[in-house]
A and B are shown apart, each in its own frame.
Chain A
């Protein structure tokens, strides 16, 4: 099979392999089960966010408010439960957080789909509003005494064990949430008319209207779905870190968008794959957690990520341009 370097997926996969080879060369312990489980665990939140952000990019928009939605949904759910119903089982807790996220997504949806305002401006605004509202009216104290069911959830492990050198490893069941989100999103995007309409709207809104796609409904769905995913990511984050911190999560949005863009989604809409997105997430997580292994100081993280974005999105664009110039 011929490698197509103009595809981001291939490029990102090669960079990941190269990174792993380098890391393994400088520290053989890198290639071990604990490293893998750490990476998977660290990819859960970023992964769920990225799937949502990819969906928005495919539809031709951009969302930067999802981290604020996640923090809002997570913190509000936790404080509400502690006061009124601390004993609810975790699936119900998750559902509450997702519904809250979906409701906040509705606000984005109304402003973007119904009033047709620019997506970046709207979500920049709602990012601030959601966050400010949370800190002012809901609370700004960290809560470490979580409802018992959230703590129980964080202790549910898919597997655990001890390595030959004595290091402990485990993978929480929370990872299954990412898997479910990926499968569900894949199904929506590729097996439903709604998903195809999201691609169509991202390709050309005008054409979509002309052939009778319900553009407003499609866009509205996207923002509500992303809101619900954010609610899920938020509550999982709080459970796993055993802390509901209202200052958490916001600030992650740029890493998320970086992962998605690295994976080949275009800011102009219409393009994006789940494979690419997950590879992008894997690369960002690797850089954030394992740069130190290959001897690069961790302060270089953001420089490295920046360079990866420039190369990872610039190279395919440059190649496409050269190809276009040759065929013109």
Chain B
């Protein structure tokens, strides 16, 4: 029997099941020129509830968000906000119902202040023709207090770190009286610690009656604040249930429709010779006294939070940053510092974190992207041996199972996982001895991710030395023989991959 409820403590009652849900979608279907992007999907979310919408790229997640936000019309099915059905939706109707989407790029104005970014939409809706800076600041201040964070109101958004930009975007949604905040891939750009503080804020919002829908393929992290998980695959809902029923493995199975078991790497041959030796590498204010040895066929992981110097170290190894002192030796021959061309000549390859801006020519063809590192080996006098070049490029595309319809199609048309394979192919074509991978599976879906891990293990088996830099702990555990933990620019810990697990490693990182 339910205890009697007095009106006065209404705020504390848990959401009752009789009130109409915030959002109720039934049988929602969406076709794009013959392709079914969403197939009779039912979906509900209640006030104060957090739901995780999981699915690989192309599973229909984005389509579902767009329909909810009123950006795309549906072909069939019903949508009701707070029990009121809407035959057609528009961004206006959705916004009035409190449905706010926070896109991956946050859609903020880099040139405006924090206060103005938070208050802009609300002022646009309520303020008429005139702008009142004072009102803006008051609203922004109140919203930031509601979320419980302290960001200077007058700072320009372009100067904020990513995590703060995200908070500003959340605050902007709240300033518009958001009742449901939809977050598209909220954790991809955040480190573990930042994810934790985001979760604290989400809990706070939930107790405030705000519903949150996480749309993500990096799930384990948000699972703990979610009540419910909904999994989409090929446009259809394939699983739904309480978050406690899911773990990483079962989620992955639901998303991919297959078992993606990650096997740790083969043990390393104890007699394997040293390949890369780094001694006392230092760059003032960035990293200090870094020494380690990478052996042939070994996968070495460097774990560290953002700002730990992990990326800078990787760049220094490849010559993109000039260290102040120290030595890098490859097969007992010194590698010149601060010179990427000669590092590449010596046999070091570097796959950057942000492949979109640093690693690929997005509008150029797939084959050209693979071949670009090989131009000099295929030159015949003043001309290029194009035939040989293309044959080699295609060979690598095949070996790395890049799914493409045409090697002449632009790289932009590939999925994240396949783009990453193209970057790998480019480097492997140059025949490196050491490959440095910075965030090898950032923005890649679960299925491709385990494929990429398989490729890394294969490469090591063939005798390549691989350094993996990542803050994705399961990834490090799935690929690395040995792990270095980096903190404040120094290597603070060294562990064999087999002797640790995610919790232990997470603890070592954050402590």
Footprint of B on A, CB under 8 Å? 190-197, 199-200, 202-204, 206-208, 210-213, 269-271, 326, 328
Q: Which 7 pairs of residues, A with B, have the shortest CB-CB distance?
A: A270-B111, A203-B109, A207-B107, A203-B111, A211-B121, A210-B107, A196-B131
Q: A200-B109, A212-B125, A326-B285 are in contact. List 6 more A-B contacts (CB 8 A).
A: A193-B128, A193-B129, A203-B112, A204-B108, A210-B103, A212-B124
Footprint of A on B, CB under 8 Å? 91-92, 95, 103, 107-112, 116, 120-121, 123-125, 127-131, 133, 172, 285, 312
Q: Roughly how many angstroms separate A93 CA and B128 CA in the complex, as a whole number?
A: 33
- 22 A-B residue pairings within 8 Å (CB atoms): A191-B131, A193-B124, A193-B128, A193-B129, A193-B130, A193-B131, A194-B129, A195-B131, A196-B131, A199-B112, A200-B120, A203-B109, A203-B110, A207-B107, A210-B103, A211-B120, A211-B124, A212-B121, A212-B124, A270-B109, A270-B111, A326-B285
> Which of A190, A192, A196 makes the CB contact (< 8 A) with B120?
A196
Q: Roughly how many angstroms separate A207 CA and B169 CA in the complex, as a whole number?
A: 11
Q: Roughly how many angstroms separate A213 CA and B131 CA in the complex, as a whole number?
A: 14
Asked if A193 and B121 sit within 8 Å, CB to CB, the answer is: no
Asked if A192 and B121 sit within 8 Å, CB to CB, the answer is: no
Q: Which residues of B contact A195 (CB under 8 A)?
A: 131
Q: Who on chain A is nearest to B91 by CB? A: A212
Q: Roughly how many angstroms separate A217 CA and B95 CA in the complex, as a whole number?
A: 21
Q: Who on chain A is nearest to B172 by CB? A: A211
Asked if B107 and A192 sit within 8 Å, CB to CB, the answer is: no
Q: Roughly how many angstroms separate A213 CA and B121 CA in the complex, as a whole number?
A: 8
Q: How far does the Cβ of A115 sit from chain B's closest Cβ, in whole Å?
A: 23
Q: Which residues of B contact A203 (CB under 8 A)?
A: 109-112
Q: Who on chain A is nearest to B107 by CB? A: A207
Q: Which residues of A contact B127 (CB under 8 A)?
A: 193
Q: How far does the Cβ of B90 sit from chain A's closest Cβ, in whole Å?
A: 11
Asked if B130 and A270 sit within 8 Å, CB to CB, the answer is: no
Q: Who on chain B is nearest to A271 by CB? A: B111
Q: Roughly how many angstroms separate A26 CA and B396 CA in the complex, as a whole number?
A: 72
Q: How far does the Cβ of A189 sit from chain B's closest Cβ, in whole Å?
A: 9
Q: How far does the Cβ of B169 sit from chain A's closest Cβ, in whole Å?
A: 10
Asked if B111 and A192 sit within 8 Å, CB to CB, the answer is: no
Q: Which residues of A contact B108 (CB under 8 A)?
A: 204, 207
Q: Who on chain A is nearest to B119 by CB? A: A196
Interface centre among A194, A195, A208, A210 (most CB of B within 10 A): A210
Q: Roughly how many angstroms separate A213 CA and B107 CA in the complex, as a whole number?
A: 13
Q: Roughly how many angstroms separate A149 CA and B103 CA in the complex, as a whole number?
A: 58
Q: How far does the Cβ of B283 sit from chain A's closest Cβ, in whole Å?
A: 12
Q: Which residues of B contact A194 (CB under 8 A)?
A: 129
Q: Roughly how many angstroms separate A197 CA and B111 CA in the complex, as a whole number?
A: 12
Q: Which residues of B contact A208 (CB under 8 A)?
A: 109
Q: Which residues of B contact A210 (CB under 8 A)?
A: 103, 107
Q: Roughly how many angstroms separate A194 CA and B128 CA in the complex, as a whole number?
A: 10
Asked if A191 and B130 sit within 8 Å, CB to CB, the answer is: yes
Q: Roughly how many angstroms separate A108 CA and B108 CA in the complex, as a whole number?
A: 28
Asked if A204 and B110 sit within 8 Å, CB to CB, the answer is: yes
Q: Who on chain A is nearest to B95 by CB? A: A212
Q: How far does the Cβ of A267 sit from chain B's closest Cβ, in whole Å?
A: 13
> Which of B91, B92, B107 makes the CB contact (< 8 A) with A204?
B107
Asked if B109 and A204 sit within 8 Å, CB to CB, the answer is: yes
Q: Roughly how many angstroms separate A210 CA and B128 CA in the complex, as a whole number?
A: 19
> Which of B111, B123, B312 makes the CB contact (< 8 A) with A193?
B123
A196-B116, A210-B103, A212-B121 in contact; A202/B111 too (CB < 8 A)?
A: yes
Q: How far does the Cβ of A68 sit from chain B's closest Cβ, in whole Å?
A: 30
Q: Who on chain A is nearest to B101 by CB? A: A210
> Which of B107, B109, B131 makes the CB contact (< 8 A) with A190?
B131
Q: How far does the Cβ of A214 sit from chain B's closest Cβ, in whole Å?
A: 9
Q: Roughly how many angstroms separate A98 CA and B109 CA in the complex, as a whole number?
A: 33
